[in-house]
Amino acid sequence: MPVIVQKYGGTSVADIERIRAVARRVVETAGGGHQVCVVVSAMGDTTDE
């Protein structure tokens, strides 16, 4: 089974709607029979907090 790596930067997880969109993409990929490895950066503008 192939492993799909998905990386999401800070802008992709900047607010709850974007986080939900990322989650939907991950679920869709996993539902297609792939193993998924997700790499997520800190939320936008929060790296130094």
Cα Rg of the chain, angstroms: 12
Give the tens place of pLDDT for each residue, 8-21: 988 899 889 999 99
Residue 45: pLDDT above 70?
Answer: no
Residue 22 inside a domain? The answer is: yes
Higher pLDDT, 44 or 32: 32
Give the domain extent around 18: 3-40
Is 36 within the bounds of a domain? yes
In our burial notation (b when 16+ CB lie closer than 10 A, e otherwise), range 21-48 reads ebeeebeeeeeeeeebeeeeeebeeeee
pLDDT at 1: 72
Question: Domain tally for the chain?
Answer: 1
Q: What global pTM score does this model have?
A: 0.78
